[in-house]
Amino acid sequence: MRNLQKHGIGVMGGTFDPIHYGHLYIAESSRCRFNLGKILFMPSGNPVHKKRNDITDHVHRLEMTRLAIAKNPYFALSTLEVDRPGPTYTVDTLEYLKNDCSGTARLFFITGADAILDILTWKDVPRIFELCRFIAVTRPGFSFRALNEMLADLTEEQRKKIHLHETGGILVSSTEIRRRISRGEPVKYLLPDSVEKYIEKQGLYRHPDDSCLSLK
């Protein structure tokens, strides 16, 4: 981590269940636009704000992420959140990363703009803004009115640390991929081939009686 001190570091968190081309595109476009030296992909452990109780075991999510980012030298995998016991809080992750970089790294937390709408419910919001800037990725149909209403509740200094990133995006979601796999529908070109093959080999996202279905 020490060699990243001179550059901004993007922190790309998420369950990555599974990781797909949308995640990769957002990470790369953020890296280029904000001149980041590295993007840390950080699969979550026990995310407080996730309502799903059927999140795939972290062993699989880590391996799928590792496979997906293997060919990009600017991407790196972090096991920080899955290694930490108990609930996963963004402020704790950022504190660790800041300390690991001797407090000198510029951290950019990459997340969907819709998640930013709930930021006031996060643990220790003032400290989070001291530790990082936000890259808030917008999707088609995103409500800027709702965002403006939320921003009004922040200080001027905090508002300056939220950077909107309108990527246009790739319209794919992990939820849709899981649904398609459970129905035996194709997912090719939605995620890297290496991840697709891993999912097929491990039999992920299928119902017990779907053994006869193929990903192809």
Extents of the domains making up the chain: 2-171
Pair 140, 173: CB distance under 8 Å: no
The pLDDT of residue 103: 65
* Spatial CB neighbours of 3, under 8 Å, sequence gap ≥ 6: none
The pLDDT of residue 141: 77
The pLDDT of residue 130: 96
The pLDDT of residue 50: 60
The pLDDT of residue 85: 84
The pLDDT of residue 209: 55
The answer to whether domain 2-171 has CATH 3.40.50.620 is yes
> CA separation (Å) from 127 to 21, 132, 156, 165?
32, 9, 15, 23
The pLDDT of residue 3: 42
**For residues 60 and 104, what is the distance between their CA atoms, to the nearest angstrom?**
33
Q: Which two tokens stand for residue 211?
A: 């053994």
The pLDDT of residue 215: 37
Low-confidence ranges of the chain (pLDDT < 50): 1-5, 211-216
The pLDDT of residue 48: 64
